[in-house]
Amino acid sequence: MYQAYWGLREMPFSGRAEWRWFYCSPTHEEALARLQFLVEQRRRVGLLLGASGSGKSLMLELFAGQLRSQGRPVVKMNLTGVGGDELLWLVALQLGIAPAAQLPRYALWQQLTDRLAEYRYQGLESVLLADDADAARTESLTTLLRLVEEQSGPESTLVVVLAARPDRAARIGPALLERAELRIDLEPWEEADTARFVQQVQAEAGRAESVFDHGALRRLHELAEGVPRRIRQLADLSLAAGAGRRLERIDAETVESVYHELGVVEV
């Protein structure tokens, strides 16, 4: 625990603080704007692509909150390992439907499409945010495709956003990918973004003066390759190492040694 040593109220780079201390970098700000455009223009399918640790899940969570505050019905789920029937149940439950136990699939499907029709008559865009779509089972992707196709008329208000890693997006399948009308890429941070993020989080944790010197920030950015989760992990363990060595500030050498000796950065 390095809080007392560095004069911090909390551990600023822990995963528990990620949601509260969100840094809206230019790439994240642009992604949120494009997601909003996707919904307002009632496009059928959008793709949110980014490397592991780039902030896709956080983007979807923030966007879901924005949509709910606007009064729009939202379904947000992680598709890892989800089957077709399970997907239908999860969507129905998040749309306020309480299906009876052992309800046949066709009846559940009818209840779901009826609810979407209600939203359409009310002029409400309903949004389905599917995280880790590249890890979904084939049957759930087939179910999603059917839902998109059945809600594809000129008056449809259903919008589906599929989040995936760029190198695994092909696993979503050509049928769904061909229906995507907007691709949104989360790019790695610039060095200035990394520096602003580190400073912002330290300040919110109770320390106005940065623990990291300029060289440390530059090396932190280089080793983490601008990926937010990696930056957070490396910064966290650099603080721990610096406290253990009784340093006055974290320098580039400390960041480098933590990276190589502890193997902290997730690939």
- The answer, yes or no, to whether residue 139 has pLDDT greater than 50, is yes
pLDDT tens across 156-180, in order?
899 999 999 999 999 999 999 999 9
On whether the 189-262 domain is CATH 1.10.8, my answer is: yes
- Give the side-chain half-sphere CA count within 13 A for 198: 32
pLDDT tens across 119-131, in order?
999 999 999 999 9
pLDDT tens across 1-24, in order?
788 999 998 888 876 656 667 888
Domain 26-185: CATH superfamily is P-loop containing nucleotide triphosphate hydrolases (3.40.50.300)
Residue ranges covered by each domain of the chain: 26-185, 189-262
Q: Taking a C-beta distance cutoff of 8 angstroms, is the pair 59, 161 a contact?
A: no
Torsion of CA 126, 131, 134, 137, to 10 degrees: -70
pLDDT tens across 220-245, in order?
999 999 999 999 999 999 999 999 99
Q: Tell me which amino acid residue 129 is.
A: L
What pLDDT is recorded for position 265?
A: 47
Residues in the chain: 267
State the Cα–Cα distance between residues 62 and 215, nearest whole angstrom: 32
